[in-house]
Chain A
């Protein structure tokens, strides 16, 4: 046993202020089991006491794609080239859904978990991380249905081609998850004090979808609305979705510049989000 009272041998210290930037990765690693259990909880509790169970994951993107196909392609006449419009929309929506799920799931981290956070300490970042990971599973299921339709259309004789860049598709999804996580953490921190952001996020995401090239190719907006094209061009999400479609369906274009810009924004947003999140986690319980 130690019985020397030198001030240096303390295991840790609880102080009013966090260091400017402190993500204790070692601590997060110690809690990896908790992360996995949270993911497991999120996944299994969604199906409990529903008749259709995981099918709900599939119904939403399918119906949205059908609606989009009718409105944007059949009525408004947006041209998707050689790709069947339904598949075009399904690809966009599947990828877009992962982003919104990450963003909405993480953006009320503090508010939704106030009961647990008020009673016990664990690295708070575990909670938004678990949201991003469990949504990845959900994304996987939705992606399977995309593959199903892809094969279906392929045998129908549609002109479909995978691009060799498909190997980078997982990286693209990770980037999207990190962007959603970063933005979500930023908003979750602000929601603790100003509830206004909860209202903002609801319709904000809807508006953002129209600016993210989900149901139209990026080139289209440049042609038809040259004055407002920059709105889409400055949106990193548009590049991700456009690139995803390029990889999966071989339509549209890939802009290296746009992707570099997206990557830079993602990294910046993630670190700002982490910073604000860390600052908030110490005393949010007094304001939430």
Chain B
């Protein structure tokens, strides 16, 4: 069967100028124009550098995107993931015609509507109802389309009671619900969505994801979705693209893509981590697995996870809290030093090793370590480790990954004939 390609990106690149736009703009413009009238190429297109935020470059121009090529089939839900600054938002902006690419082109067989932000153009002075019309029209709907869906939109938003009140009196959650409700009833062939689900309460997020699944499955519409919420990406998307420094690192099946993405953010170092809270007095230094040089473990082994902590003061009534998260951010294990009959402890100026003895019967993967030390109910230090705990299993299951679940416990099977 021939593929039904609805959207095709060919050699998309986008160049940005760094620093203060303004100084030297005029001279660059004149230079550019001078090259143009002589029929030469734009001199500033050659000098761009790869967009790596952390390294210091020599050029004033960077490529936010470079030679992006991909195709999207009709009805497909494509996830676009990558670190901050990888070029995701730039790509979405180009797709939604907010800005033009520097080179390359995008060809489309369907109308594109984009949702880079919920509530674009909302006016606080106007009522909820008026804003539904205004926002819907901004997103490309006609008045007739909006009128025919008005009741559904109001019902979906759950803001019936406030619908004739100015939006500035709404809580932020209500504004978002109303805005998403308008967007949810858009009916373009291609919908481009940027992390809009990161708002609203859990119930509404669930509703929103459900609505998006309906859009793509039943509506047969194509969705391009950018998010950092891996659980949402995983449940919605069929295929994915990983962007890294403006280039496509890989594309393919969504499970494979998410795995690749986590390989990328894995930083191997000697066990030191980045702190989330700066406490100059006392802090954790590193974590490690006792008698081990690596962070690899097998799912069935008993291990001791050790935390080195340096205290610069006397701390009383201390307790230690520690959680392990999977890559979707779900807490798999949470424990406290006072569990199982432990008590508060006191420490003095000095360096300590704390250790937890545990086993982690979970499936293969990377797990995040998050620990905090609390004294007299004040958090002294709270770290989320950048180094992951890597679980490898000793046996292979016959099952596909999607049937494996979260736990990896040995099961024993036998059968008896009873009659």
Interface residues of A (CB under 8 A from B): 1-5, 9-17, 30-31, 33-34, 36-38, 40-41, 44-45, 48-49, 115-122, 193-195, 282-283, 285-287
Instruction: Please determine whether B100 and A37 come into contact, CB atoms closer than 8 angstroms.
Output: no
Task: For A117, give its contact among B98, B134, B140 (CB under 8 Å).
Answer: B98
CB distance from B101 to the nearest CB of A (A): 5
Measured in the bound complex, the distance between the Cα atoms of B108 and A283 in whole Å is 20
Q: What are the residues of chain A within 8 A of B94 when measuring CB–CB? A: 14
Instruction: Please determine whether A1 and B111 come into contact, CB atoms closer than 8 angstroms.
Output: no
Asked if B198 CB lies within 8 Å of chain A CBs, one says: no
**Residue among A30, A37, A194 with max Cβ neighbours from chain B (10 Å):** A37
User: Which residue of chain A is the closest to B71 with respect to CB atoms?
Assistant: A5
Q: What are the residues of chain A within 8 A of B108 when measuring CB–CB? A: 10-14
16 residue pairs of the A-B complex, CB under 8 angstroms, read A3-B2, A11-B109, A15-B100, A15-B105, A17-B100, A44-B125, A44-B126, A48-B125, A118-B93, A118-B116, A119-B98, A120-B114, A120-B117, A121-B114, A122-B140, A286-B16
From 134 to 167 in chain B, residues with beta carbon under 8 angstroms from any chain A beta carbon are 134, 137-140, 142-143, 166
Task: For A10, give its contact among B2, B107, B116 (CB under 8 Å).
Answer: B107
Q: What are the residues of chain B within 8 A of A16 when measuring CB–CB? A: 100-105
Q: What are the residues of chain B within 8 A of A119 when measuring CB–CB? A: 98, 114, 116-117, 120
Asked if B331 CB lies within 8 Å of chain A CBs, one says: no
Asked if B123 CB lies within 8 Å of chain A CBs, one says: yes
Asked if B63 CB lies within 8 Å of chain A CBs, one says: no
A-B pair count, CB < 8 Å, reads 116
Instruction: Please determine whether A37 and B134 come into contact, CB atoms closer than 8 angstroms.
Output: yes
**Residue among B2, B22, B107 with max Cβ neighbours from chain A (10 Å):** B107
Measured in the bound complex, the distance between the Cα atoms of B64 and A186 in whole Å is 29
**Residue among B3, B121, B130, B134 with max Cβ neighbours from chain A (10 Å):** B121
CB distance from A117 to the nearest CB of B (A): 7
Measured in the bound complex, the distance between the Cα atoms of B4 and A48 in whole Å is 51
Interface residues of B (CB under 8 A from A): 1-5, 16-17, 21-22, 25-26, 74, 93-111, 114, 116-117, 120-121, 123, 125-126, 130, 133-134, 137-140, 142-143, 166
User: Which residue of chain A is the closest to B105 with respect to CB atoms?
Assistant: A15
Instruction: Please determine whether B110 and A11 come into contact, CB atoms closer than 8 angstroms.
Output: yes
Instruction: Please determine whether B120 and A120 come into contact, CB atoms closer than 8 angstroms.
Output: yes
Q: What are the residues of chain B within 8 A of A41 when measuring CB–CB? A: 123, 126, 130, 134
Q: What are the residues of chain B within 8 A of A11 when measuring CB–CB? A: 108-111
Q: A120-B114, A193-B25, A287-B21 are in contact. Are A14 and B121 (CB under 8 A)?
A: no
Instruction: Please determine whether B101 and A37 come into contact, CB atoms closer than 8 angstroms.
Output: no
Measured in the bound complex, the distance between the Cα atoms of B95 and A40 in whole Å is 30
The 8 A-B pairs of least Cβ separation, nearest first, read A121-B97, A34-B137, A282-B100, A33-B143, A14-B106, A10-B107, A48-B125, A3-B2
Measured in the bound complex, the distance between the Cα atoms of B143 and A36 in whole Å is 10
Q: What are the residues of chain A within 8 A of B100 when measuring CB–CB? A: 14-17, 282-283
Instruction: Please determine whether A120 and B138 come into contact, CB atoms closer than 8 angstroms.
Output: yes
Q: What are the residues of chain A within 8 A of B138 when measuring CB–CB? A: 34, 116, 120, 122
User: Which residue of chain B is the closest to A49 with respect to CB atoms?
Assistant: B125
CB distance from A24 to the nearest CB of B (A): 12
Instruction: Please determine whether A121 and B142 come into contact, CB atoms closer than 8 angstroms.
Output: no
Q: What are the residues of chain B within 8 A of A34 when measuring CB–CB? A: 137-138
Q: What are the residues of chain B within 8 A of A4 when measuring CB–CB? A: 2
Measured in the bound complex, the distance between the Cα atoms of B104 and A5 in whole Å is 19
CB distance from B35 to the nearest CB of A (A): 15
CB distance from A75 to the nearest CB of B (A): 42
Measured in the bound complex, the distance between the Cα atoms of B10 and A16 in whole Å is 12
Q: What are the residues of chain B within 8 A of A30 when measuring CB–CB? A: 142
Measured in the bound complex, the distance between the Cα atoms of B109 and A2 in whole Å is 10
Q: What are the residues of chain A within 8 A of B96 when measuring CB–CB? A: 120-121
Q: A12-B108, A117-B98, A193-B25 are in contact. Are A37 and B2 (CB under 8 A)?
A: no
User: Which residue of chain B is the closest to A42 with respect to CB atoms?
Assistant: B123
Q: What are the residues of chain A within 8 A of B16 when measuring CB–CB? A: 286
Q: A13-B108, A31-B137, A121-B96 are in contact. Are A116 and B120 (CB under 8 A)?
A: yes
Measured in the bound complex, the distance between the Cα atoms of B121 and A38 in whole Å is 10
Q: What are the residues of chain A within 8 A of B99 when measuring CB–CB? A: 282-283, 285-286
User: Which residue of chain A is the closest to B114 with respect to CB atoms?
Assistant: A120
User: Which residue of chain B is the closest to A113 with respect to CB atoms?
Assistant: B121
Measured in the bound complex, the distance between the Cα atoms of B131 and A45 in whole Å is 12
Measured in the bound complex, the distance between the Cα atoms of B168 and A45 in whole Å is 12
Instruction: Please determine whether A14 and B97 come into contact, CB atoms closer than 8 angstroms.
Output: yes
Q: What are the residues of chain A within 8 A of B95 when measuring CB–CB? A: 14
Measured in the bound complex, the distance between the Cα atoms of B111 and A48 in whole Å is 36
CB distance from A167 to the nearest CB of B (A): 33
User: Which residue of chain B is the closest to A286 with respect to CB atoms?
Assistant: B99
Instruction: Please determine whether A14 and B117 come into contact, CB atoms closer than 8 angstroms.
Output: no
CB distance from A30 to the nearest CB of B (A): 8
Measured in the bound complex, the distance between the Cα atoms of B134 and A4 in whole Å is 38
Q: What are the residues of chain B within 8 A of A44 when measuring CB–CB? A: 125-126
Measured in the bound complex, the distance between the Cα atoms of B125 and A10 in whole Å is 41
Instruction: Please determine whether A33 and B116 come into contact, CB atoms closer than 8 angstroms.
Output: no
Q: What are the residues of chain A within 8 A of B142 when measuring CB–CB? A: 30, 33
Q: A44-B126, A45-B125 are in contact. Are A5 and B2 (CB under 8 A)?
A: yes
Q: What are the residues of chain B within 8 A of A121 when measuring CB–CB? A: 96-98, 114
Q: A41-B126, A44-B126, A120-B116 are in contact. Are A33 and B137 (CB under 8 A)?
A: yes
Instruction: Please determine whether B5 and A5 come into contact, CB atoms closer than 8 angstroms.
Output: yes
Measured in the bound complex, the distance between the Cα atoms of B210 and A28 in whole Å is 34
Measured in the bound complex, the distance between the Cα atoms of B142 and A49 in whole Å is 30
User: Which residue of chain B is the closest to A284 with respect to CB atoms?
Assistant: B99
Measured in the bound complex, the distance between the Cα atoms of B116 and A37 in whole Å is 21
Q: What are the residues of chain A within 8 A of B121 when measuring CB–CB? A: 116, 120
